[in-house]
Structure 1
């Protein structure tokens, strides 16, 4: 398989994974503009290491359900 094809496949797989996270978080029905705003806000807030750690704890807890 060519490197380009493998990179495209990996990119598609990653997007599928990210979409699954959106569904797991219960955000699939949210309008795209609000979802993007939420993600941008979260990314900005996660620059604070304490906030990033809290996000990680909450996410890990959800994966155990």
Structure 2
């Protein structure tokens, strides 16, 4: 079971890394990327902004 959990964790991290690349941030400073994510996390309670970000993300997935 432990091996399966590690495998799932690894896959999850790879998928998150893929999102960073898809967003065009693959060459950015890691501190910048983390700052962007932390800012997004702080503002996720803003329903209007959250809906805009989801819409933007879904459009990016279609490309």
Give the unaligned 5+ runs of structure 1: none
User: What is the CA RMSD across the aligned residues, in angstroms?
Assistant: 0.7
Q: Match for residue 47 of structure 2?
A: 49
Q: TM (normalized to structure 2)?
A: 0.94
Deviating 4+ runs (over 2 angstroms) = none
Higher relative contact order (CA 8 A, sep 6+): 2
| Alignment length (residue pairs) | 63
